Amino acid sequence: MQKTINCAMFRKMVLVGAKMLENNRAKVDALNVFPVPDGDTGTNMSLTIQSAVKELSTAASNSFPEVCDHVSKGALRGARGNSGVILSQIFRGICSVLHDSKPDVDTKTFAKALEAGTKVAYNAVSIPKEGTILTVVRMMSEYAVKNAGKYKDFETFLPAVIEEGDRALAMTPELLPVLKKAGVVDSGGVGLMTIMRGFLSALKGDEIVSEVQTEAAGAASAADADFGDNSDIINMDLGEIQFAYCTEFFIINLKKSTTLADIDKLRESLMGIGDSVICIGDLEMVKVHVHTNSPGVALTYALELGELDRPKIENMLEQNRALKAKREAEKKEQGMLSICAGEGISEIFKDLFVDRVIEGGQTMNPSASDIATAVQKINADNVFVFPNNKNIVLAAEQAKALVENRTIHVIPTKNVPQGFAAALAFSPDAPVEENKANMIHAIDNVKAGQVTHAVRTTNVNGFSIHEGDIIGLDDKKILAKGQAVDETVMKLLDKLKDDSHEVITLYYGEGVDESEASALAEKVQEAFPDCDVDFHYGGQPVYYYLLSLE
């Protein structure tokens, strides 16, 4: 019986958990509450844990401090959507306990780790909502802490914890009425339980272990690729650079006496003279990257294993002196970043002087790292971020911890029309707080709707929905349904419009012709003669039309 787990086993559990979720990603996506083609919880959670796996592959040893640092960092950097952000925080809490644990972890310590994961995850959400992934992890951790002493080995402890998690998952429809109406359990909770089952599979040595991509398997393809340029590193605000020389090279024609252990030893030696170490490959070819003050020493270490190929040494100090001088001269006080999908929508934001637009929306949520990277590339002290989707707001908030020399101000826009209103309210001459207040006030004056099609049959919001029905929604619920797009748009406008609205704008998506949009705009103008009606090309996926009422 396995009374303890070591770091090598924990590493294996993370890898298999990630693989198990990836195998079941589509099933988790299909549990979306609303029957629209945007069920992406499984995708967001999978991409989040895959980022942790990718980061984990660079860990040089199977020690808890190093492995936990890599898992925690990788999960945060790859966090996508609310579910992904919460998952990253669960792992962050788990890793905070295991990081300082003994080499062999017992059930009591693992229970404490789950408890820490729950606490960190709850703290990441401003208003925690029960009936979600949070409830599932909380009930599991409470059970684990209470009963860890009863289960002396992981073969009986982990199945009991999973059973409690399944019980919590089954309760989610009772805690969250919208789930009960839709006839589904919480998709984030399903994603978490899928990972937990992966943990158990790793522990028991089930067949899925052989399907996990190992570090060696990933290294071969990485070694085949060219280095590319160093622009991402150079363009970052690096602050004080501890190691001046970015040193890169391949090792080829390795000596017959060289072993895989020698490659591991090279990695450890490089970590002793610098940071940002990458040392991956096999006995055919090794790829090396290191930031160091002793590039000659790095090259000398490598020559012990084989021949050098394509060496490149760049002085990051000099590059950044020139870059920082230029950027400092051009820096402005305030900038804007918008997240949206659709060529037309993107162009409208650019016309409104938004500095940068990154792709994201119902079918693709950018990660906290994606948002932070985009913010970092805007040369302004303060950056207003428009998520334009309620499922991206939390990731935008998490991005605040990943930026340097910038202040992120998240304007909680839940849809594209609110994003347009916020951008229009911006004045480069106004103080930051005044702009922020004006933007938040502006989004309160916008009502928005979306028209799409149902991807499954269900009963929700008082509607009996059949697959293929055209449905109209606001940010909270389904308000209209019909058999035709135009019919549903008109029904939705009837629900959304009140006497205060003077302007109605239609943004037509991919698959809708301009002539169709023009004809529909005329119908809307006829039905609402007291309003100015306009239409624009949005090119957005998923939704035939986005509607804006102001």
Both structure tokens of 57:
């592959």
Residue type, 545: Y
So what's the pLDDT on residue 26?
83
Residue 306: predicted pLDDT? 96
Q: What is the pLDDT of residue 323?
A: 67
pLDDT band at 326 (very low <50, low <70, confident <90, very high): confident
List, in sequence order, every residue forming a beta bridge with 364; answer none if it has no partner: 361
Query: 63-120: per-residue pLDDT in tens?
Result: 999 999 999 988 887 877 678 878 988 999 999 999 999 899 999 999 999 999 999 8
Under the banding of pLDDT at 50, 70 and 90, the label for residue 233 is very low
For 415, other C-beta atoms within 10 Å of its C-beta total 25
- Alpha-carbon distance of 537 to 493, in angstroms, equals 19
User: What CA–CA distance (Å, rounded) separates 49 from 59?
Assistant: 16
Q: Which CATH architecture has domain 331-443?
A: 3-Layer(aba) Sandwich (3.40)
Query: For the chain, which residues make up each domain, given as ranges?
Result: 7-213, 228-320, 331-443, 447-549
**What Cα–Cα distance (Å) separates residue 342 from each residue in 303, 392, 516?**
51, 16, 18
What is the crossing angle of helices 154-175 and 107-124, to 10°? 30
Topology annotation, domain 7-213? 1.25.40
Q: For 19-56, write each residue's pLDDT tens digit.
A: 999 988 888 887 765 454 455 788 889 999 999 999 99
From 1.20.120, 3.30.1480, 3.10.660, 3.30.70, which CATH number describes the 228-320 domain? 3.30.70
Architecture of domain 447-549: 2-Layer Sandwich (3.30)
Q: What is the pLDDT averaged over residues 360-369?
A: 80
Q: What is the mean pLDDT of the chain?
A: 86
Question: In the predicted model, is pLDDT for residue 234 greater than 60?
Answer: no
From residue 368, how far is each of 45, 313, 511 by CA, in Å?
A: 13, 31, 31
Q: What is the mean pLDDT of residues 302-319?
A: 89
Give the DSSP letter string of 443-460. Answer: HHT-EEEEEEE-SS-EEE
- pLDDT tier at 208 (50, 70, 90 boundaries)? low
Report pTM: 0.60
| φ, ψ of residue 164 in degrees (nearest 5) | -65, -40
DSSP of 32-100: -SSSSTT--HHHHHHHHHHHHHHHHTT--S--HHHHHHHHHHHHHHT-BHHHHHHHHHHHHHHHHHHTT
